[in-house]
Structure 1
């Protein structure tokens, strides 16, 4: 009898261990933004296919540009050109206090906009990393990814609930500067300390690689309120002028 009871306990413990491992392993997440108006969520953030130019707001004023064929990665900084950063005035430090907020269904978000540049046909590209770091002062050295990750606090990672890939279709929009997707990151993830320096690490390339111009990120400034009235329609009420959105006419670099 003791041996029988011991065996039952061992089998029960093994079953619990297997069940725990099964539930603790998150499944990969694929967000398909290759059709007009599509959307998806990852770790509390909302990813939307958009067409900024069609709203009349002009073209993007980015804080990060990267460029490489196949796979590419980088992060915004005002010192150096780490990884695949593209040098120039459109890659620079960013403070949290310069960002506006978007309120959707009672939740406040910071809004980021991505503009991709690919060829037609073969216009798909995959976003593999979207990580936001904060630190109390601007980076003084930025040659490697470790210069960022070892000195900053990771505040948001789209892979936090599982390895996430976002597939994007460049052919849906009118070209460079029009904007292709938006990412709404909860304010609760980044906080509201405007003095913090915000760094975005991003990468592209799997399964759909980059094959043309640079990819660029912008952050919406000012305040925009998004509400969902009866009928399920979404109305965007602009609380500031277009210039306050940070979507200004881009100067050639």
Structure 2
């Protein structure tokens, strides 16, 4: 089965180039030249992942992302202006799974898409379907749902994968290089703050506890601190 990509990009030349390359790599591509059309196509339920430009003629790509997040958990990769860190930070806060700066290399875009799709599929293919409890946090792997004190926690696909790796090693340190590889599917590069942004979002969504339940171990990585009873399977 082909993976279905929704490409929302107003630059016709770039959109055509990327769509042609993605098609050649085995993806089924649908195209939109503005945010409104992108939202309409996404609502049809025929998309596995969205590649979304931030600069669109009718509305900001970040506003498109906000509306997508209000409707579903489709993985989203943002196309951002090179060097514009503000857009990337806001994008992660809104719920982006990854970003790639423009002008982008089509091969890198394919690699990023495949990495995000692997992360989304990873848990669906797991055979263990029992709920997992980590103190006041409960995870339903089969449904990819997380509950904090029985209240649902809305996570992006990437945030969920980062959390799963940390929970699998709860109480131990996970090196940043390993966390990047296992959860995001790529190597940690110099000055790449992608992982830091996802950790920041997870901390915000999992509550204001001090110290944070996701602890930074300087020079090494991160550790999930279980609050309440010891982790268990129910």
Q: Taking structure 2 as the reference length, what is the TM-score of the superposition?
A: 0.24
Larger Rg: 1
Which has more helix, going by share of residues? 2
Which has more strand, going by share of residues? 1
Q: Which has the higher contact order (CA 8 A, sep 6+)?
A: 1
